[in-house]
């Protein structure tokens, strides 16, 4: 509720991380959808995730979505660890983004709730071995990336095909700048694994400054809202 835009951007960034895992990248390229229709593919994924977030697993819409996810993933040529990793990126990456660039840090309770949600999704999809806490899942994800990240042609192609997905999250006036600076929004480990070059220092500085100004603006906005709620109608 407090980070609607950051959560969506964080989910996008989480999906980007899967491009750096060779086994996952090959599957994404082989279907043709992520290269040929990246916006449609991303929208479909986002719609499914938010159907579950908004309605819960036990609702009719939630049950239908879980069934669709199971059908889509039933025959993919990847192992259980890759499925755990995808869930980890969707859970951990958005919260890390918020902690670094949001108007406040996420709380312990929010991290536990995020983990609980994705752990529940894993159970309903038959995915085994998901670590039993947010912190353990975050460590598992980092260890997996250390072992599995590698530069591939598929990963490069996926990055190039989907650059517009990040710029679309920003105002139209800023989108051209963000498109140039996309690589500055991802960490050094991921840039290296996707074969992306480091942007000039001035670009990284502009992106960092813009994100800090945005966080400060949102922080001021939320504090104003909280102050307004604390004033009695009689005052």
pLDDT tens digits, residue range 84-118?
999 999 999 999 999 999 999 999 999 999 999 99
Report CA-CA distances (Å) from 156 to 147, 187, 209, 233, 234.
Answer: 19, 16, 28, 57, 61
User: Residue length, the chain?
Assistant: 235
Burial class for 221, CB neighbours closer than 10 Å (0-12, 13-18, 19+): exposed
- pLDDT band, very low/low/confident/very high, at 170 (cuts 50, 70, 90): low
Backbone phi, psi, residue 76, to 5°: -70, 135
pLDDT of residue 233 exceeding 60? no
Distance between CA atoms of residues 179 and 187, nearest Å: 16
Asked if 102 contacts 14 with a C-beta cutoff of 8 angstroms, the reply is: no
Rounded to an integer, what is the distance from CA 149 to the centroid of its chain? Answer: 17
Distance between CA atoms of residues 111 and 46, nearest Å: 20
Distance between CA atoms of residues 213 and 219, nearest Å: 10
* Rg of the chain over all Cα atoms, to the nearest angstrom: 19
pLDDT tens digits, residue range 14-24?
999 999 999 99
The Cβ of residue 28 has, within 10 Å, a number of other Cβ atoms equal to 23
Rounded to an integer, what is the distance from CA 60 to the centroid of its chain? Answer: 25
- pLDDT band, very low/low/confident/very high, at 172 (cuts 50, 70, 90): low
Asked if 189 contacts 177 with a C-beta cutoff of 8 angstroms, the reply is: no
Token reading at 101: 């660039």
Asked if 95 contacts 106 with a C-beta cutoff of 8 angstroms, the reply is: yes
pLDDT tens digits, residue range 206-230?
778 888 898 999 998 888 777 776 5
Asked if 140 contacts 84 with a C-beta cutoff of 8 angstroms, the reply is: yes
- The CB-side HSE value for 102 (13 A sphere, CA atoms) comes to 22
Distance between CA atoms of residues 121 and 57, nearest Å: 8
């Amino acid at each position: 509720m407090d980070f609607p835009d950051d959560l969506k951007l964080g989910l996008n960034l989480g999906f980007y991380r899967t491009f750096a895992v060779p086994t996952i990248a090959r599957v994404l390229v082989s279907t043709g959808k992520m290269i040929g229709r990246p916006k449609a593919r991303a929208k479909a994924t986002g719609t499914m995730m938010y159907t579950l977030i908004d309605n819960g697993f036990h609702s009719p819409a939630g049950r239908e979505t879980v069934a669709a996810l199971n059908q889509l993933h039933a025959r993919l040529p990847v192992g259980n660890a890759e499925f755990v990793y995808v869930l980890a990126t969707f859970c951990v990456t958005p919260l890390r983004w918020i902690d670094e660039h949001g108007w406040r840090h996420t709380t312990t309770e929010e991290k536990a709730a995020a983990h609980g949600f994705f752990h529940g999704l894993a159970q309903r999809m038959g995915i085994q071995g998901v670590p039993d806490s947010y912190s353990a899942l975050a460590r598992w994800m980092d260890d997996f990336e250390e072992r599995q990240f590698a530069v591939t042609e598929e990963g490069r192609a996926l990055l190039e095909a989907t650059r517009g997905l990040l710029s679309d999250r920003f105002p139209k006036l800023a989108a051209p700048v963000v498109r140039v600076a996309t690589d500055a929004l991802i960490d050094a480990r991921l840039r290296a694994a996707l074969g992306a070059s480091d942007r000039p220092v001035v670009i990284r500085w502009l992106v960092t400054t813009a994100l800090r100004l945005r966080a400060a603006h949102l922080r001021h906005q939320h504090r104003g809202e909280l102050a307004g709620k604390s004033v009695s109608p009689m005052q």
